[in-house]
Amino acid sequence: MPTVNKQRFLRIQPSNDPWIVGLKCSFGSDLNKMTRDWRQNSNLITHPATCKRAYANEIWVEFQHALVQAKERPDAAVKVLTVLAYLEGCLKATHDSLLAVRELVFENVRRKEFNDLPSRHTCLYLCPDRRECVRYWWNELVTQGHDPGKTIWDVIVTGEIFLTPDLVKLQSMSVEEWEALARRYWSPHDAELDNDEILFAGEIEVVAERQKADFGIP
């Protein structure tokens, strides 16, 4: 696995974890923020009728029963807004569950077959200083629902890196399909691609903030 010494890369940082120029920190031993977030996310959602917290699968079963009753009793029809509230909560819970399954499968494949590579659970995600890569990741993070206040930083890093294209789309698939995708992700890649990401473990220093206009981002 390549090692780097005082090499410059870019980091797109969310606004809920702000950085400043001069910040120095290390990655690779403790869980990173993304991993802490998905580990802490619960399948509890707010019940649309009672406003109480309950597990999404239980609410979904209850909602299914309500739809059956509404079909049999037109006077008890479920209102559209209630349907949307059920769906919104269950979709959020499904998203959280898929994210956890994906990351656990990717980590399991890494440990078994590529254990010399940095873990997605503890690494820092970086971006090559290439216009097309920054534009790709900026738009991808927007698509994933990340906040618009994120910033782009120049960082100087010393440690280990692993360069790989983005193959971690969040969609429903079997565990076998996740495992096959993980093997592709962890295998070596030589060509420079627009969706390259860098997994980094080591020491970093934040040296400058970059403007999104520098990369043609409106």
In a domain, 202, yes or no: yes
pLDDT tier at 208 (50, 70, 90 boundaries)? Answer: very high
In a domain, 61, yes or no: no
Give the whole-angstrom CA distance, residue 12 versus residue 64.
41
In a domain, 38, yes or no: no
pLDDT at position 205: 98
**For residue 130, is pLDDT > 90?**
yes
pLDDT at position 97: 87
CATH number (domain holding residue 144)? 3.20.170.10
Average pLDDT over residues 146-171: 87
pLDDT tier at 140 (50, 70, 90 boundaries)? Answer: confident
pLDDT tier at 7 (50, 70, 90 boundaries)? Answer: very high
Residue 84: CB partners within 8 Å, gap ≥ 6? none
In a domain, 44, yes or no: no
In a domain, 16, yes or no: yes
Q: Which residue has the higher pLDDT, 83 or 185?
A: 185
Give the whole-angstrom CA distance, residue 123 versus residue 33.
10
Record the pTM: 0.84
Which structural domain range is residue 27 located in? 3-31+118-215
Number of domains in the chain: 1
In a domain, 190, yes or no: yes
In a domain, 53, yes or no: no
pLDDT at position 68: 77
| Mean pLDDT, the chain, integer | 88
